[in-house]
């Protein structure tokens, strides 16, 4: 198998060729242009270059932003509003190119090849600048009306709490994103803090952060009854101490003890390459 995965993010468009071993090779990286037309042209250039290595290989695209089922994307970080990118890709390539939200692609990557493999109901949480991820239900990413995916990070965990970029107050990601731990840990870096905790230091900052993460996970347990919670994103670099702390505190909750004593918390299999691998999985999915 050789499949091309393209990952369109806020600052860069990354791409590579996925091979049988889940190794990504032939990597390319270009800055993300400021318009939908520019992005589509850059994708075309990148794919043309990769086709020189793997002629005619199928292509899938992971793309930041919210997609509707008409293939239009709205992405604040890319300055796009209802941009008909799916149709633009079809016009440029002369064929249908599968394209999907980046969080959904990461979810598909974990389900197809990683920590959610063979899992009936599982949740991916990516702790980064915000909280992203999604819910996999019986092999399908859970979607709302018109195919739009949910926004787990904007679940409210503090009524009338901190103002969020989405306009609500008290969203989970205002308390439990990796960025927030970075602020709480200062002047230490999050890695330095995680190292200290790993070495046995009792840290109120760490406990408070884990408490906020678990506060949201409890609600997800009660709503979805998941078998597995996968933790990804920048903070997953903190390694087993993060996952271990979350599991430990989760096991003290009624949500776990009474309703979901089966739920396991595990690290994501894919980190920086989740978008490329998930995009490639989209292309493989095509009949
Ligand atoms: Zn929000």
How many whole angstroms from 11 Cα to the centroid of ligand 1? Answer: 22
pTM (2 decimals)?
Answer: 0.89
The torsion defined by the Cα of 175, 178, 184 and 186, in degrees rounded to 10, comes to -160
pLDDT grade, residue 287 (50/70/90)? very low
Q: Do domains 2-104+272-285 and 118-267 have the same CATH topology?
A: yes
Domain ranges of the chain: 2-104+272-285, 118-267
Q: What is the pLDDT of residues 239-270, one digit of tens each?
A: 789 999 999 999 999 999 999 999 999 999 98
pLDDT grade, residue 236 (50/70/90)? low
When pLDDT is averaged across residues 142-159 and rounded to a whole number, the result is: 91
How many whole angstroms from 24 Cα to the centroid of ligand 1? Answer: 33
How many whole angstroms from 169 Cα to the centroid of ligand 1? Answer: 7
Q: Is the dihedral of CA 105, 108, 114, 119 positive or negative?
A: positive
How many whole angstroms from 28 Cα to the centroid of ligand 1? Answer: 33
Residue 189: is its pLDDT beyond 50? yes
For 90-139, the DSSP string reads HHHHSS---EEEHHHHHHHHHHHHSTTTT-SEEEEEEESSSEEEEEEETT
CATH number of 2-104+272-285: 3.30.420.40
Task: Tell me the two tokens of residue 127.
Answer: 């702790």
The span from the CA of 273 to the CA of 287, in Å, is 24
The span from the CA of 244 to the CA of 228, in Å, is 14
How many whole angstroms from 166 Cα to the centroid of ligand 1? Answer: 4
As its CATH architecture, domain 118-267 has 2-Layer Sandwich (3.30)
Protein residues with C-beta less than 5 angstroms from the ion ligand 1: 154, 164, 166, 168, 171
How many whole angstroms from 106 Cα to the centroid of ligand 1? Answer: 21
């Amino acid at each position: 198998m050789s499949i091309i995965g393209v990952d369109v993010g806020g600052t860069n468009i990354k791409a590579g060729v996925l091979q049988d071993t889940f190794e990504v090779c032939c990597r390319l990286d270009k800055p993300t242009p400021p318009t939908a037309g520019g992005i589509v042209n850059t994708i075309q250039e990148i794919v043309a270059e990769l086709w020189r290595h793997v002629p005619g290989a199928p292509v899938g695209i992971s793309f930041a932003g919210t997609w509707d089922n008409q293939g239009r994307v709205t992405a604040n970080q890319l300055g796009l509003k209802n941009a008909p990118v799916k149709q633009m890709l079809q016009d440029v390539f002369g064929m249908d190119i599968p394209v999907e939200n980046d969080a959904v692609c990461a979810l598909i990557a974990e389900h197809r090849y990683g920590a959610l493999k063979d899992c009936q109901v599982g949740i991916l949480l990516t702790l980064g600048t915000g909280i992203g991820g999604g819910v996999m239900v019986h092999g399908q990413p859970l979607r709302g009306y018109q195919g739009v995916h949910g926004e787990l990070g904007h679940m409210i965990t503090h009524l009338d709490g901190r103002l969020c970029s989405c306009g609500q107050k008290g969203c989970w990601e205002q308390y439990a994103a990796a960025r927030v731990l970075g602020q709480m840990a200062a002047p230490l870096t999050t890695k330095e803090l995680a190292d200290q905790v790993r070495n046995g230091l009792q840290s109120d900052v760490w406990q408070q952060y884990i408490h906020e993460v678990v506060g949201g996970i409890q609600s997800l347990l009660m709503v979805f009854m998941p078998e597995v919670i996968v933790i990804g994103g920048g903070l997953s670099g903190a390694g087993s101490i993060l996952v271990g702390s979350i599991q430990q505190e989760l096991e003290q909750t009624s949500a776990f003890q009474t309703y979901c004593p089966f739920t396991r918390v595990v690290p994501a299999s894919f980190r920086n390459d989740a978008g490329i691998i998930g995009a490639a999985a989209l292309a493989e999915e095509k009949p």
